[in-house]
Chains A and B, each alone.
Chain A
């Protein structure tokens, strides 16, 4: 779900980013007031319709939902066992719908547009000491660095395994912390070198 923008000439892509984010926030909040599985099912069909309208390939939809499948199945099974299948279907459907809608926004909106919109949207908080530029840069760096950190974790795990350490939280966390701090240091140099002005 990170930085997976897919360029298409579609009305969903052209829809203003601020409205997309607002619609996502409203839908995410509104979903918690809906418990009828049929209504949630209809909303899921509607979301898939939006994917079609955005001219996104089926693979993109499946790619978003596939990693979530075990969680959805488990959620449905637990809820169905304790509260009935309707509650199970509604809970799993709600989560699937949320992920699909969030993915739709990510797939049809460039990260820079989201970040610019956030910066504009938070501008009114400046008198309260909130620096919208810093918040938006933080978001950009978060999206950018999650895969980098995941690679780092893999690298450290492999190095530990090569030395015969199969599972040790400490052996993972200490080098991860050291490398992350070093990376943060270099990143701050890079931001400065590229003319970033936090004011």
Chain B
């Protein structure tokens, strides 16, 4: 369970989150909001990439402020643009990067890399340079490189924004089939509609928190 308690955050003079109180216990939670509403800041607070200026973020009781490393092992993060997430030149090497950071034995790294590549249809691209993959394949690689670490939660920060319809559906299928708890930040209302709970942010505040149909209707109404 992830809890946000009276979370406030500002960039300079601009307050982007204004007292957020949330308990996220569902398996699929989506967060929507206009540009600048604070969604991405909220996403980065969930795995300790950002620390709140005020308030606390707790993941299974661990505080991101004092247990950032342990929190990051529990909460994987998939960025909007896979090009900023892929670190190593080739597919298999990039998937292995996070496992090497955990200092796992070589044979276990190889086994887990092979398994996740098979799961995402990347096996035949094992030694491909990442820059030669299509946009959809790059996003799959980015997701595979997070899931290979076996996090309990996965935060997706606008994972389909840069993709065409076919790849959007493919990524939606991947998210749907995840055994992990997924927290989805997105403008893609089809994707958001599949969540169990949808939270609408506006100017740093929660303005709706409901089942998908009601929350999406509230969001669309706000967008005018």
Q: State how many angstroms separate the Cβ of B4 from the closest Cβ of chain A.
A: 18
- A7-B127, A144-B130 in contact; A2/B47 too (CB < 8 A)? no
- On whether A140 and B131 interact (CB within 8 A), knowing A193-B49, A193-B76, A194-B97, the answer reads no
Instruction: Tell me the bound Cα distance from A194 to B95 in angstroms.
Output: 10
Q: Are A196 and B93 within 8 A (Cβ)? A: no
Q: Is the CB of B96 within 8 A of A112?
A: yes
Interface residues in A173-187 by Cβ distance below 8 A to B read 183, 186-187
Q: Is B81 an interface residue (CB 8 A)?
A: yes
Q: Kindly state the separation between the CA atoms of A183 and B85 in the bound complex, as whole angstroms.
A: 10
What's the nearest-Cβ distance from chain B to residue A192, in Å?
6
The answer to whether A112 touches B88, judged by C-beta atoms less than 8 angstroms apart, is yes
List residues of chain B with CB within 8 A of the CB of A193: 47, 49, 72, 76-77, 79, 85, 146
Contacting B at CB under 8 A, from A1-39, are 2-7
B203 to chain A, nearest CB (A): 24
Query: Could you tell me if B129 and A140 are in contact, using CB atoms closer than 8 angstroms?
Result: no
Quote the shortest CB–CB distance from A63 to chain B (angstroms): 13
Digitize A136-158: 1 where CB-to-B-CB distance is under 8 Å, 0 elsewhere.
Answer: 01001101100110010000000
Number of interface residues of A (CB under 8 A): 29
A67 contacts the other chain (CB 8 A):
no
Does A90 touch B at the CB level, under 8 Å? Answer: no
List residues of chain A with CB within 8 A of the CB of B93.
110-112, 140
Contacts of A147 in B (CB 8 A): 129, 131
Give bound CA distance, A194 to B143, whole Å: 11
Q: Which of A5, A144, A151 has its CB near the most chain B CB atoms (within 10 A)?
A: A144
Residues of A within 8 A of B81 (CB): 186
Shortest distance between the CB of A120 and any CB in chain B (Å): 13
Interface size class of B (residues with CB under 8 A): 20 to 34
- Would you call A69 an interface residue if the criterion is a C-beta within 8 Å of the partner chain's C-beta atoms? no
A183 touches B72 (CB 8 A): no
- Tell me the nearest residue of chain A to B79, going by C-beta: A190
Closest to B77 in A: A193
Interchain nearest-CB distance for A157 vs B (Å): 18
Question: Residue B198 at the A interface, CB < 8 A?
Answer: no
With beta carbons under 8 angstroms apart, the residue of B98, B101, B127, B129 that contacts A2 is: B129
How far is A197 from B149 in the complex, measured between Cα atoms in Å?
15
Contact A144 B77 (CB under 8 A): no
Bound-state CA distance A55–B47 (Å) is 46
Chain B interface residues toward A at CB < 8 A: 44, 47, 49, 69, 72-73, 76-77, 79, 81, 83-90, 93, 96-98, 101-102, 126-127, 129-131, 145-146, 149
**Chain A residues close to B by CB (< 8 Å):** 2-7, 110-112, 137, 140-141, 143-144, 147-148, 151, 183, 186-187, 189-197
19 contacts between A and B (CB under 8 A): A2-B129, A3-B90, A112-B88, A112-B90, A112-B93, A141-B87, A144-B87, A147-B129, A151-B131, A183-B83, A186-B84, A187-B84, A189-B44, A189-B49, A190-B77, A190-B79, A190-B87, A194-B98, A194-B101
